[in-house]
Amino acid sequence: MWGGRFAEGPAAVMREINASIPFDKRLWEQDIRASKAHVAMLGAQGIVSAEDAQTISDGLDKVAAEYAAHGVPVDLALEDIHMATEARLAELIGPTAGRLHTARSRNDQVATDFRLWVRDAMDAVDAGLEALQKALVIRADAHADDVMPGFTHLQSAQPVTLGHHLMAWYEMIRRDRARFAEARTRLNECPLGAAALAGTGFPIDRHATANALGFDKPTDNSLDSVSDRDFALDYLMAASQCALHLSRMSEEIVIWASQPFGFVALPDQWSTGSSIMPQKRNPDAVELIRGHAGRITGCLNALMMTMKGLPLAYSKDMQDDKPPVFEAHDLLALSIAAMTGMTESVTFRTDRMRALAESGFATATDLADWLVREAGLPFREAHHVTGRAVKHAEDLKCALSDIPLADLQAIHPAITASVYSVLTVDASVASRISHGGTAPAQVRTRIAAAKAVLGVA
């Protein structure tokens, strides 16, 4: 491609290190789309003849059909997907193919192709996350009344409902979708026409190519256009946060599936056995999701380190922008699909959840609140009185609701029989009626709102 300047070809190692076709062949669909938009604009502007523009466009369709049927051939001499496509186009239509690269550079070409790919990836991730949200909402609706322990420090804290817990996961994924949507909005400007770094003297119409490719507008600075990879970093940042959420969800399933907890029974299709211990049912799917989070955040770090010291405009280091994004996307897509499958098919052992919610004095806060509300105690005094009641229940080896009234009144005389109405786990969760609380009525309100957004009946 630059034989006029160089008398000799590259060394074998140089050819290998310089080539990106082994990984950027994934951009072939975006490269064809962008090239067709570019040549259509060249024809409309009279920069190439209408006949040549049509010949090139038809040729690109033939190249695309070959790629779709047989994949992209890897030839290190052709370096990248852009040169590979142009070379194959020349074989099909002859010298006319050389007009395709008029008024563009590989710099703005790859910036455009990569933006298109990342935009497509964001749309695919959003669809996957929407499916996960729907699975969460459906399961939450079925378990809006089922009581389970709520934890802080992984210690039993207050009773909540399983539906409330699942809707907490829903909220995490809702924010992830918002992050991808915000990143997509920032991404959606078209670099095509910025050329190598300074724009072009040809009378191109950048708005036409931007519109043809579904961008909101062309980028406004040619230097920034070819050197910006913020959109890739935005994708990786959103992907990393999403992976962290999926990892936290996975950790809870791992804990819940352990015999000491026994909150869930793992489905066959999302667990594995042991090569030596016949009784084992291992939560490998969610353990791998948890592991993928480290790799995805590593991809973010890799691209940040690549970009941190680069001057304007393009540097060859930026060829390494794509592998971490491709890797992170593949891992995230797998993680989302696996978490959706697990959510849809896991069995929640609500009897076990209730049993543990009823132990551990999870309604202690309800007793303290009752002392404040009914007996007029300052909360700190109520907290102290409740602590004494918990200690007495430990000595008796019973729940708070099973302490005799006389014993409670010995701890504080203001306690009456009506206190028992707040000491059951059902009464506790039913009382949490504040916006976003765990009361089943509140949970169902949140579920209804989520179903309306997701279009779930």
**Residues 399/393, Cβ–Cβ less than 8 Å:** yes
55 CB-side CA count, 13 A: 17
Helix (H) or strand (E) holding 217: strand 217-218
Least Cα distance to 326 among 129, 118, 181, 179 occurs for 118
Residue 205: left (phi > 0), alpha (psi -120 to 50), or beta? beta
Whether 274 is catalytic is yes
- Residue 107 and residue 191: Cα distance in Å, rounded? 9
CA 319 and chain centroid, separation: 24
- Residue 411 and residue 327: Cα distance in Å, rounded? 62
Least Cα distance to 390 among 407, 370, 372, 414 occurs for 407
Which of the following is catalytic: 258, 274, 315, 421? 274
Is the C-alpha dihedral spanning 48, 54, 55, 58 positive or negative? positive
Which of the following is catalytic: 70, 153, 418, 435? 153
Whether 435 is catalytic is no
Compute the CA torsion angle 190, 195, 196, 197 (nearest 10 deg).
-70
Residue 310: left (phi > 0), alpha (psi -120 to 50), or beta? beta
Which spans in 346-415 are helix H? 350-357, 364-375, 379-396, 405-411
- Residue 244 and residue 319: Cα distance in Å, rounded? 27
Catalytic residues: 153, 274
